[in-house]
Structure 1
């Protein structure tokens, strides 16, 4: 049996048509349901619907929306889809402004169409994503792989794929690198057997970096096969942060540690912070004025608590919170707020439980010194202490600190009584950095409003 190589291309084409069809159908339905528009003559509306519907998959292609999502996060796909959708809206809007034709189209219709396309697109894509996961878990729509590696690595990959059947990969056969003398002959036999007909889609190599010469020899033999060959280096003993393959000075490098928020990703996150941060600041402004008045009446001035924290790349910035404690003598530098802390007022307890004391940090977000989502900034003295006892602690500062974060919505907030509490929080922060996407940010924000807004820690 020979796997059909055109299947992926057909699926990508189908998904482009799928997105274009959703955009066209939703926009046209909105047009027909608005009586003031349905009987307009001319081709302006149909033409704009056609252009926008074709532009959406074009932007999706640009941002990698149609690359394989097998085994990848649903929320990452949502983020890329929303980015493609937003770019389409911006381009269409700029075109209408430049051609001075904005008056031709109903702004209400444009808003309904835009929101409708985003909503329907996300719902249907989510449904398709979960349908494919169930299909693959049932043993259909699978990709078969040949795994070449050391016995321990092959066993690790097999165990991983068995525990995640919904990803849709199945180990078709294995070639163990246990006898260096016979290995070239076994690889040659595989190449001769599968040059034109094969029962697998990909070949995975999984060997330690110390066996680089073996990897090179295997890769040179496999170049004769027209299939994807992936190398999974055994880096289980190395702590990685967003590792990737890059080319520097015409040399290929495996970056073991780099910030994920560079280039387009940094622009996307900055837009997210400015747009959503601005909307939240305006929305919460009346509440912040009320809290400021209550704090002034209850505890006097100053209303805000200001303190320096370490931000992106360890640079200092001043963070703002509503004051929750009475005036007191400075506590030891590493002392954290505790349950029934006498320094905290009754109003302060309420503000801390509801996280309303954090609202002034929206100003830090608009300043560009914080993000809506990211590792929570710790006191500077805590950073000085923990950087020496937790090896990868300072990797938290590879991104901007956030008002909320992956650790916080998973209950890791407040006082850290033991070292392992902080280690667990750091692990969650590094997971966020290592898996950042616009979709993950939106998920964390949704979780914050759903269950992370109320804090039972001091």
Structure 2
């Protein structure tokens, strides 16, 4: 399913044990084969090194949920997490070699061949296995029978996704609705099996493996009733959010004492996710700053010699959880507005210096914000920060506007690479930017960040409406 519109989400992978065992064996076998071929031996020290890699890889693979079901996931995303898990695995391996002072014992050629061949084979076997599974599922094997309660707008959207993606192995078996069959979408009338009572009966008879409930939130009494009855079956039950719940950010179960709660608006940056995002920011910012250090120095000198005023302009913005931060930018204007009213730059704006126009068009004025990233008040990828005065204006106009502050602001973001950067001279333009920002927060992952960084490199530095 696409990130933009998918409703079917990944869950338990019935092949997880097989995946783990193959990964463990490949890591061991690759080191054994490369060492035997190149130096003619494979002893206990090489085995221990591979064992450390086994444990580390399994840890990072679990961290990235690599062993979950990939029925509805993309191959690119899966291989990206294989690469990330294997790359992080090498840190504990090299730390072991460094602190035990055993690095001289191991052949560098063997280690290099092992690193490359293992990554190649980890990706290759997954690609082949995935292709085989998809081929089997298209032929009707390894499928899971699906029932949908409520052929609402959401229920119809789910049915279409299942129909358009047979490779996922989800097979629509039945739809249930309190309305009569002739009032339903004609395309799915042949799947009609009755109302909720019939859905429960088919679940009890194990004729359905997964039931999706697509009733509106207003039908909470009926939802509660059917959930209680289905609790006496072994069927997997999923609730499909309607238009209200679809706007929730990272809804999850929680507890306050013995009271169970559901978070409505929450940040994805919790626990391990927060740590991963911070590691990503530090690594990316450090690499990028080492590359752009000389260009930044040249830009700073050019600003100093072509116009009066400081090189760096610091402006108040809202950061994570709406707390004020100061972001750094190369000064591109003759004025440095930072008060209750900040006029947005427009085409032909007299305040913009000749050099500043070029810097703003190419986004080079944003480069100092990599220091904000290292400071910890910004991320490389996230919703772009707006001037405080603009925040106060648009939070009153646009629903869910302030939810974009559930993540740190970023130097680049999903809205920017999707064409919604630059001047927002209409409320509609800002609404679209917020829509893309909230989509990013709902679907955040390292893979999503990686895609945005790549898109930024190829098309995110310039824009038609950037002044």
**The two structures share one fold, judged by TM-score above 0.5:** yes
Correspondence for 2:393 among 365, 385, 390:
385
Q: Secondary structure at 1:265's aligned position in 2?
A: helix
Equivalent in the alignment of 1:12: 16
Report if the CA contact (8 A) 1:309-1:379 is conserved.
Answer: yes
Equivalent in the alignment of 2:461: 453
CA 1:201 to 1:186, structure 2 compared with 1: closer, same or farther past 3 Å?
closer
CA 1:189 to 1:312, structure 2 compared with 1: closer, same or farther past 3 Å?
closer
Equivalent in the alignment of 1:189: 201
Q: Which moved more, 1:263-272 or 1:183-192?
A: 183-192
* Equivalent runs, 1:14-33 vs 2, <5 Å: 14-24=18-28, 27=31, 31=35
Report if the CA contact (8 A) 2:383-2:415 is conserved.
Answer: yes
* Equivalent runs, 1:15-414 vs 2, <5 Å: 15-24=19-28, 27=31, 31=35, 38-39=39-40, 42-53=43-54, 55-61=56-62, 63-72=64-73, 77-78=78-79, 80-106=81-107, 110=111, 113-114=114-115, 117-118=118-119, 121=122, 125=126, 141-149=142-150, 154-178=155-179, 186-187=198-199, 189-191=201-203, 193-194=205-206, 198=207, 200-236=208-244, 239-326=247-334, 333-414=341-422
CA 1:234 to 1:293, structure 2 compared with 1: closer, same or farther past 3 Å?
closer
Structure-2 separation of matches of 1:306 and 1:219: 54
| Displacement after TM superposition at 1:452 (Å) | 1.1
Structure-2 separation of matches of 1:112 and 1:84: 18
Structure-1 separation of matches of 2:311 and 2:109: 42
Equivalent in the alignment of 2:5: none
Structure-2 separation of matches of 1:292 and 1:345: 14
Structure-2 separation of matches of 1:56 and 1:12: 14
Structure-2 separation of matches of 1:424 and 1:224: 44
Q: Which moved more, 1:434-443 or 1:321-330?
A: 321-330
Q: Secondary structure at 1:376's aligned position in 2?
A: coil
Q: Deviations over 1:23-59 (max 9, x none)?
A: 44655576578x5xx3467443354235424642354
Structure-1 separation of matches of 2:338 and 2:15: 63
Structure-2 separation of matches of 1:334 and 1:343: 12
Q: Deviations over 1:177-208 (max 9, x none)?
A: 359xx9675356325533xxx3x321222333
Report if the CA contact (8 A) 2:144-2:170 is conserved.
Answer: yes
Q: Considering Cα pairs closer than 8 Å and 6+ residues apart, tell me whether 1 or 2 has the greater RCO.
A: 1
Q: CA RMSD in A?
A: 3.4
Question: Gapped runs of 5+ residues in structure 1?
Answer: 1-7
Structure-1 separation of matches of 2:173 and 2:213: 14
Question: Gapped runs of 5+ residues in structure 2?
Answer: 1-11, 181-193
Q: Deviations over 1:196-223 (max 9, x none)?
A: xx3x321222333443443343233333
Q: Secondary structure at 1:308's aligned position in 2?
A: strand
Q: Secondary structure at 1:84's aligned position in 2?
A: helix
> What count of residue pairs does the alignment treat as equivalent?
442
Report if the CA contact (8 A) 1:149-1:205 is conserved.
Answer: yes
Could you tell me the TM-score, scaled by structure 2's length?
0.82
Could you tell me the TM-score, scaled by structure 1's length?
0.83
| Displacement after TM superposition at 1:418 (Å) | 0.9
Structure-2 separation of matches of 1:224 and 1:391: 40
| Displacement after TM superposition at 1:235 (Å) | 4.8
* Equivalent runs, 1:400-439 vs 2, <5 Å: 400-439=408-447
